[in-house]
Chain A
């Protein structure tokens, strides 16, 4: 598999070798506990503060103390939402979107069912753009927190979070954004924005799994989720994951360095891949908003065939991608993101995500372009919805259970 073509970088990325080099000493000579009163600890403490400054720089935050290290995106999301609810106990409403990551969506569902909160889930249109009128209508002084993602993990579609944050602030609500997919790919200047909290995850930007951060704007009322020691200025107790933190710091530094490449070369490769597939394969289309999305993500819905089958055949060809089909997750429903955009079931099940990274090469993209049309044709020859000899869909209406 090491020789394979990895186009599933929105799921996770490879740890950059430079990141790994920065981390290794933390497992060996710099193994101390940053809280300790001796030289072993002091060396580690210094590295953690260095890492914090790298995140601050990547996010354009005003102060390094606004960065709280966590175990990843999900912990950051949970901490942000629960903190706001605890800080504003009289406000009983939450605003989010229908296309959020489960890190936010499942939590909101739980809060709605078990804690009696009212949750407003803002819908999207066919291209995945947020319904701004519905958003404005949902805001009120009863809303404790708005949590809306910066960029969608499945389609890459970008939400206007700066504007959303301003509107939330005007209504007196805390604004949090899950920016796990956006950090490192989109330039940010949180110091000048109304965004109160922001979640990021290390393993989406070539740092290891199990490390992430939550940005908490100075002055925001904050209540920790994990209580215990005084780590992270008592905002996240527990001995610091020092190797992970240093890895995240190194990855943030590299992400800033490569952001230009990501938005030029990687974007061009993505566009080439997409254009070539759309030209060679009938009955497929790009999902989400092609005009405003992450530079590395292409999500193409292949109609009348199912995603898992596509992935298995891609895998045989040494290509790793991802799908919004129900079967890949073991659930019965296809991707909630596809459904929210009104993508038909026969297309949603065939939605295939190719997510590139700065490690992706043109040779790899050419190889994918060469094999995808045959894979789609093979599966369509098996599909009852497709007339292979005519090269077009056909009528099929089975008895549905």
Chain B
């Protein structure tokens, strides 16, 4: 049984705005029949103000697909078309108090239906550009299609590079066999092995296919002064922020206490079901940057005297 939030259950058992909207002037129909979801989103847009006055949906899908559709209609009614277009699937998931990683694609379907409907309203052609595959990394919600894309685009050759680029396999590390399988398939297909990327070997797992590359500049790490070390930590966190901001969140360095580094997750990260994974990602990055083992902890765990 999935661990659905109360909000998901509420929108599944008593969906809002379900049914046919006869006065609709924008209709989006998207779906993925193999994975068992299809959604028709109907909007009534005021041509003068561009405000979405009403929205209804019909959904063929599981509990979270129906809940995502219901949530979407609640979120967009009263918004202008342009305001609605800024909504992402993460916003839908967040509105519902989070979705299990296997179910994030339900929120993606909602966001796509919205884009399709608005394109329909504007008389534009809408093309679906997202692809999805079997979920590989449950901690970070990374599927096989995303790994394939990362491997192909960036010429990745090792498991640890895949982890660096996609976060897949960086937390509980139980999906490494699957990642290596995807990697092998892509490499077998593309044939040409590009030289390994410039990353120093990470601390995540060991590469079972190739021997580890010699460490790039490991010596420097040991001789950092306190100031250098602090700057290295700040730089590493700064480098991670864009990635986290893309998911609607943010991370802030609060304090450094020896091996304990305190950070604060904000925005979409706070309360997100995957925040533990994000913390783990920050920790990996810092361990890699410093060449020493450190623990990343939420600021809420700071000892009282330090605050």
Chain A residues close to B by CB (< 8 Å): 304-309, 312-313, 315-316, 325-328, 330-334, 345-346, 349, 381-385, 396-401
Q: Are B31 and A399 in contact (CB under 8 A)?
A: yes
Q: Are A332 and B40 in contact (CB under 8 A)?
A: no
- In the complex, A325 Cα to B133 Cα: how many Å? 16
Annotate B24-38 by CB proximity to A: 1 below 8 A, 0 otherwise: 000001111111111
Nearest CB of chain A from residue B123's CB, rounded to whole Å: 16
6 sampled A-B residue pairs with Cβ under 8 A: A309-B61, A327-B36, A327-B103, A334-B36, A384-B38, A384-B58
**Contact A309:B135 (CB < 8 A) given known A332-B35, A399-B31:** no
Give chain B's interface residue range (CB within 8 Å of chain A): 35 or more
Query: Does B39 interact with chain A (Cβ within 8 Å)?
Result: yes
Query: What B residues does A333 contact at CB under 8 A?
Result: 34-35
Query: What B residues does A384 contact at CB under 8 A?
Result: 29, 38-40, 58-60
- In the complex, A20 Cα to B32 Cα: how many Å? 46
**Contact A332:B132 (CB < 8 A) given known A345-B34, A385-B38, A399-B116:** yes
Nearest CB of chain A from residue B109's CB, rounded to whole Å: 8
Query: What A residues does B12 contact at CB under 8 A?
Result: 309, 312
Neighbour of B13 across the interface among A304, A316, A328, CB < 8 A: A316
Q: Are B58 and A383 in contact (CB under 8 A)?
A: yes
- In the complex, A196 Cα to B130 Cα: how many Å? 49
- In the complex, A316 Cα to B130 Cα: how many Å? 34
Q: Are B36 and A399 in contact (CB under 8 A)?
A: no
Nearest CB of chain A from residue B69's CB, rounded to whole Å: 8
**Contact A382:B59 (CB < 8 A) given known A306-B36, A306-B65:** yes
- In the complex, A332 Cα to B135 Cα: how many Å? 8
Query: Does B128 interact with chain A (Cβ within 8 Å)?
Result: yes
Nearest CB of chain B from residue A352's CB, rounded to whole Å: 13
**Contact A381:B34 (CB < 8 A) given known A306-B60, A316-B13:** no
Query: Does B18 interact with chain A (Cβ within 8 Å)?
Result: yes
Q: Are A383 and B59 in contact (CB under 8 A)?
A: yes
**Sample of 14 more A-B contacts, CB < 8 Å, known A327-B64, A331-B134:** A308-B62, A309-B12, A309-B66, A327-B62, A327-B65, A332-B134, A345-B34, A349-B36, A381-B18, A381-B19, A382-B58, A383-B58, A385-B38, A396-B38
Q: Are A382 and B66 in contact (CB under 8 A)?
A: yes
- In the complex, A346 Cα to B38 Cα: how many Å? 10
